[in-house]
Amino acid sequence: MLGWYSREILEPGRQPMFLALLAFLVTFLVTRMITRMIRAGKGPFGNVSAGDTHIHHVVPGLIILLCGGVLALGSGSDGLWRQVAGLMFGIGAALVLDEFAMVLHLDDVYWSDQGRLSADAITLAAVVMFCALLIVAPNQPPADPVEGFWASFASGVVFVLGWMVPIILTILKGKLWMAAAALLLIPFAWVGAIRLARANSPWAHMRYRKSEKKMAAAKQRDLRWRRRQQPTKDWIQTHLFGLSRSSEGEP
């Protein structure tokens, strides 16, 4: 196990990302456990307030996230501080995204139906960080570095057109999970970029407003997709996030 960790995580330079992912998952689980205990009136925990102002955990999350970013930018590629920055990033990101729905709506929707957006944000961020952990290797330069101006320019164009553009189109079409998977396998991005957009996506609002046929097809496809994945999604959001349709108000 130690040999695998040294070979796959430590030597390629993936330890900061690994620590960020680990801190992200642990912080999320601990945060949800504490908030559910507060809501149920159990345990020694309580709301944090400054006078009459309730301090949501997104506030310390933003501070930790910003400090981790500054530390990462100011530290070298090796050493302890890079690892600390990874931990701070994971902790801060978990605290912020756990209240993503509240930030989006500018309202206390933590336990409401709108709070399910936070569950989506947390899950998607964990998937993206896991994919990044698998592909990012700062200590391992490319085996065959591209040399020469035109060769470098051509490789940059291929990278943008072949990887970045389809991923951006996939995101605009509302297929965030497919975009996350494309970090590992680029064909996912091409499939997402070519196929019909989600009905509530920015692409659909921009491109399908004058095409009732495309919008109707997008809504029908969304309905089929939700019927397949909604039961699993509801189970996760209920048992892991503590959300339910009748939930209201944050602790």
The model's pLDDT over 167-179, given as tens digits with 9 standing for 90+, comes to 999 989 988 888 8
Phi, psi at 51, each rounded to 5°: 70, -125
The conformational region for residue 148 under phi > 0 = left, psi -120 to 50 = alpha, else beta, is left
Ordered by start, the domain boundaries in the chain are 1-139
Report pLDDT digits (tens) over 85-122.
999 999 999 999 999 999 988 888 888 878 888 888 89
Instruction: Write phi, then psi, for 183 (nearest 5 degrees).
Output: -65, -30
CA 31 to CA 26: how far, in whole Å? 8
DSSP secondary structure letter of residue 210: T
Using 50, 70 and 90 to split pLDDT, how confident is the model at 251? Answer: very low
- Residue 71 CA to residue 6 CA, distance in Å, equals 24
pLDDT tens, 4-42? 888 889 888 899 999 999 999 999 999 999 999 998 888
Collapsing DSSP to helix, strand or coil, 41 comes out as coil
Instruction: Please report which helix (H) or strand (E) contains residue 209, including its range.
Output: none
- Distance CA(247)–CA(251), nearest Å, equals 11
* 2: its two tokens: 């130690």
Beta bridge partners of 49: 54
| Confidence (pLDDT) at 247 | 43
**Cα separation, 11 vs 8, whole angstroms:** 7
Query: Mean of the per-residue pLDDT values for the chain?
Result: 85
What is the pLDDT confidence band of residue 56, given thresholds at 50, 70 and 90?
very high
Q: What pTM does this model have?
A: 0.79
Looking at per-residue pLDDT, the higher value among 131 and 242 belongs to 131
Helix (H, G, I), strand (E, B) or coil at 222: helix
Q: Which residue has the higher pLDDT, 223 or 237?
A: 223
At 139, the pLDDT band (50, 70, 90 cuts) reads confident
CB-based contact 83:65 (threshold 8 Å): no
